[in-house]
Chain A
Amino acid sequence: MNSTIPSQTTLPWLWRLPALVYRSGALIISLLLIGLIVLLSGASPIEVIGRMLVGAVSTPDQIGRVVATLSTLLLCAAGLVYTFNAGLYNLGVEGQVTFGAIATTFVLRLLYPEEATASLLPPPLTIALGILAGALGGVLWGLLAGALHVYGRISEIFAGLGLNFAATGVAIYLIFGPWKRPGVASLSGTQPFDESLWLGTFGQTEATPVGLGLGLLALLITIVVMRNTYFGLRLRAVGKNQYAAHVLGVPARQQLLSAFFICGLFAGLAGAIQVVGVFHRLIPNISSNLGFLGLLVVMLVNFDPLWVLPVALFFSALNIGSLQLPLSLGLESSLAGVIQGLLVLFALLGRGLAQRYAAS
């Protein structure tokens, strides 16, 4: 009767492993799982990985597409570094990209009306104004989410998702309504812009120096800001403990809104590049879901901008390489998404387990 009941909360010693074991263990498990899924779909994992990587770099054209994807992805990821470090899950990044693209399209159409034969201003200036408008559009959509979150006390996740739908809705309305192609409106988007308004590319590829430059510049600025400035430090303080940061004198609201502002700015630039550099028109899914992919990249690197470039490059290569799979192996190209999702999911799991159980 006087038997003592053992505690259920103490962990078996077996679980007390170094954090690194959890992190690398999670990576290994995710790779095994990916292999298993490939096997189940009837292919060899080694071959699939090989094809994807070869597919990504086989021709200059393919490399160009990887670089084009990377440029947009870097802009989105750099912006998301700010919101993640401020403790925000800015799922609204997609909408910010889309609205940026809409704003860019608006300005380009304004300066180069459909019936005109040339841009009203010199084409480079038109493009620059278009990109600037994209940035402002992204900022507007970002601040809208920020205001809903900070002043309306709505979860930034729901605010962002709602605004994503709204932005897509606006895009589709414009494509089928006021901006529809002469003749037939279609999901393939608005009438392509005159070639004078296309961004210059590396050779005959899709990659544009301006896009890549903006992506790399955004990332570089982000690294410097997060590591070396008071602004970055305050942002992290707010993200880790908003109340304590407030008590210590950090203006939390201002920091949160700044994070939304910057993320919207970069996402808007991404949208602008998608319009003037990649699609040369507005299409319904103008973001190519690269905003969501940016979320995965930044989560995978634990919000540290220093590691964004290699991971973003890898993910871009997967995205483009996987497009070869249906042709060469008869597999779905959505395998890239599965691989990316699993990697991130298990990275988060490993981090969570390490935080919870690892021996300090």
Chain B
Amino acid sequence: MGLFACATAGFGLRVKVELQHIHKRFGPVHANDDVSLTVEAGTIHGLLGENGAGKSTLVKILSGFITRDSGVILLDGRPAHIRSPADALRYGIGMLHQDPLDFPPLTVVENFMAGSPSTPPILNPRAAEREFRRWCARFNFDIDPHAQVGDLTVGERQQLEIVRLLANGVGTLILDEPTTGISASQKTLLFQTLRRLADEGKSIIFVSHKLEDVEALCDRVTVMRRGQVAGELDLRPLHAGAQQASSHHPEIAARIVELMFGRALAMPTKPPTRRDEVVLSIEGLVLRSDRLEIRVDQLSLHRGEVVGIAGLEGSGQQLFLTACAGLEPPAAGSIHIAGHNLTHRPYADFLRAGVCYVPADRLREGLIAGLTIQEHVALRASGRHFFIDRAEVRAEAERAIAAFNIRGRPDTYVERLSGGNQQRTQLALLPAPLSVLVMEHPTRGLDIESTLWVWQQLIARCQQGTAILFASSDLDEIVQYSDRVIVFSGGRVSPAIPVAELDVELLGQMIGGRF
């Protein structure tokens, strides 16, 4: 291995990885609840689950970025003491992060040399470059060693990371959402490389929330749900023979969807509130972020209508919602609110037109930690006068607290409220009348009572003529309260489907990217 002497002396190339009874809590959240996972040497093991299912926590424990509360890690049957990423690397475990952990201002070779456990005090860039070229040639990677990393594409940075980890003697490779933001040809090359590494005996853990990728690549898949292992499936039958994998084995795909989301869907419970008048209409909308491009050809929301957005998180829902609320300018297309063209108008115009956005991350995006409930009430009323009428603001805050059943006082700081009460506060701050309400995970983290209460309030809004557009990772919530449903899958957007025409299988297929 030349410059990068193999750091894993004593560990054979074929390493079986076992995680047993792993527990990890973040405050009240049990992120990993008795999770056990076995990855055989020479296999690609998929780890599938929604955002927040606990899969990232699990692999970060294995790669030393997070320390576990309890549980055991075995490598080839021997316990491994991993407390930092450097420890993990000594055991030959390397992780490729979703956002590559590299140094954009440095060159490719400099990055390649960084982080090696055996770097000599005096660097030898020429030797490193030769070694880098050898590795690239092996996997058909085409990266200029002298390019600046910041100028590479996400896919190329990934390739650089893979080569760097392998050169550092990694025998267990963890990949976190590696297919987000890379081109189709880069994805093909990545899959070929991973298959080849597995054939050489390395263990690969492939973390994803994309069904199709897991189906196409993995030998086995472990599905996680709410911090626990929901089940494990053998996917090799998918690859045996057929190229067009899952079309021959729809039962396996259906089984995965079932493991991810649970079996039966709830019944629709929303009363009809839809009126004829269109309040939000979208034509030919194109949205771009650094990772995704979304196209929504046509969507109209009627007054009183609820449209739910299903799909795995990170499929572009947030981008779409913030664009509809006027917080993100679209790359192309138009947004009309109540007949007025508001495309590329400032956010203030959207607010004036009665569009409101309620983000999921209540304390980071929706409310202001360090301000009290009444200060939020005052902030909403801001602009009318110069001086604050304290008595009036306090009275208004008290009215809101009573009406929305918030457990807090006007001078309670919002960060001291429970999640449910924060959500109630967000709802209490919504102006009336309201044309379009855009919500992200309206009931995330709430108990059943609060969830029901929130939707009572929302439906009352619909009866007053507000249209609601919301995203949720809870399929039950979507089916129960929506009139129509849109599915996002990896940046692709399905047409809106009336909720009556949906069942769990169809939804699962669409979430997996088939529509």
Give A residues with C-beta under 8 Å from B: 1-2, 4-9, 228-231, 233-234, 236-237, 240-241, 243-251, 360
Contact across chains for A9 and B67 when beta carbons are under 8 A apart: yes
Query: Is B79 a contact partner of A1 (Cβ separation < 8 A)?
Result: yes
**Candidate in A2, A243, A249 with the most chain B CB atoms within 10 angstroms:** A249
Name the contact of A240 in the complex, choosing from B67, B79, B370 (C-beta under 8 A): B370
Q: CB within 8 Å of A: which residues of B?
A: 25, 67-72, 79, 83, 327, 347-348, 351, 357, 359, 364-371, 375-376, 378-383, 385-388, 390, 416, 429
Question: Across the interface, do A241 and B388 meet the contact criterion of CB distance under 8 Å?
Answer: no
B370 engages A244 (CB within 8 Å): no
User: Known: A5-B67, A240-B371, A249-B380. Contact between A230 and B364, CB under 8 A?
Assistant: no
When the two chains form their complex, are residues B351 and A228 in contact, meaning their CB atoms are under 8 A apart?
no
Which of A5, A244, A360 counts the most chain B CB atoms within 10 A? A244
- With contacts A1-B79, A250-B379 known, is A230 near B68, CB below 8 A? no
CA distance A236 to B376 in the complex (A): 11
B387 engages A241 (CB within 8 Å) = no
Asked if residues B371 and A230 are in contact (CB atoms below 8 Å), the reply is no
Contact A249/B388 with A230-B382, A230-B383, A233-B382 known, Cβ cut-off 8 Å = no
Would you give the shortest CB distance from A5 to chain B, in whole angstroms? Answer: 6
Interface pairs (7), CB distance under 8 Å: A5-B67, A228-B390, A230-B381, A231-B386, A234-B382, A237-B375, A248-B380
User: How distant is the Cα of A229 from the Cα of B375 in the complex, in angstroms?
Assistant: 11
Besides A6-B69, A8-B83, A230-B379, 18 more A-B contacts (Cβ < 8 Å) are A4-B69, A5-B67, A5-B69, A5-B71, A7-B69, A228-B387, A233-B375, A233-B382, A234-B379, A237-B371, A237-B379, A240-B369, A240-B371, A241-B370, A243-B364, A244-B366, A249-B351, A249-B382
Question: Which of the residues A5, A236, A251 comes within 8 Å of B371, measured between beta carbons?
Answer: A236
Known A244-B366, A244-B367: A233·B380 in contact at CB below 8 Å: no
Contact B387 A229 (CB under 8 A): yes
A237 CA / B387 CA spacing, docked (Å): 16
Known: A9-B67, A233-B375. A244 touches B388 (CB 8 A): no
B379 proximity list for chain A (CB < 8 A): 230, 233-234, 237, 245, 248, 250
Most buried by B among A234, A240, A243: A243
Chain B hits for A249, CB < 8 A: 347-348, 351, 380, 382
Asked if B70 and A5 make an inter-chain contact with CB atoms under 8 angstroms apart, the answer reads yes
- Nearest A-chain residue to B81, judged by Cβ: A5
Q: Which 8 A-B pairs have the closest CB atoms?
A: A4-B70, A240-B370, A230-B382, A241-B368, A7-B69, A244-B368, A240-B368, A249-B351
The answer to whether B72 and A247 touch across the interface, beta carbons within 8 angstroms, is no
Provide the residues of chain B in CB contact with A5, threshold 8 Å: 67-71
Minimum distance in angstroms from A275 CB to a CB of chain B: 33
